[in-house]
Amino acid sequence: MTTKAEKRHMDRVATLPCSVCGAHGVQLHHIRETLGMAQRASNWLVIPLCPSCHTGKHGIHGDRAMLKVIKADELTLLADTLRALAA
């Protein structure tokens, strides 16, 4: 169940470049997906990631090496995303 406001927010996030490497053509990552919680991730907690940084070998669902390279965690990326939307 996605509300109109959530859909609008996600559409805007999807126009941003990858928050890890800056590539265009992103997928949305829900930041609680990787915490292994049964609770569904919020549609407001999404960050834009290119396929490689998202589900690639070193991506956020992989060994997460991309995050270590830029010394960021998912909350840092969320903050960057919110800042980019506010700009």
Binding residue for Zn ion (CB under 5 A) from 31, 50, 77, 78? Answer: 50
The verdict on 13 binding Zn ion (CB under 5 A) reads: no
From 23, 41, 72, 84, residue interacting with Zn ion (rule: CB under 5 A): 23
Among 13, 46, 47, 53, binds Zn ion (CB under 5 A): 53
The answer to whether residue 29 forms part of the interface with Zn ion (CB under 5 A) is yes
Position 6 contacts Zn ion (CB under 5 A): no
81 binds Zn ion (CB under 5 A): no
Residue 20 in the binding site for Zn ion (CB under 5 A): yes
CA distance 60 to 69: 12
Task: Print burial letters for 45-79: b (CB count within 10 Å at least 16), e (below 16).
Answer: ebbbbbebbbebeebbeeeeebbeeeebebeebbe
Q: Quick one: which of 41, 83, 85, 84 has its CA closest to 61?
A: 41
Positions in the binding site for Zn ion (CB under 5 A): 18, 20-21, 23, 29, 33, 50, 53
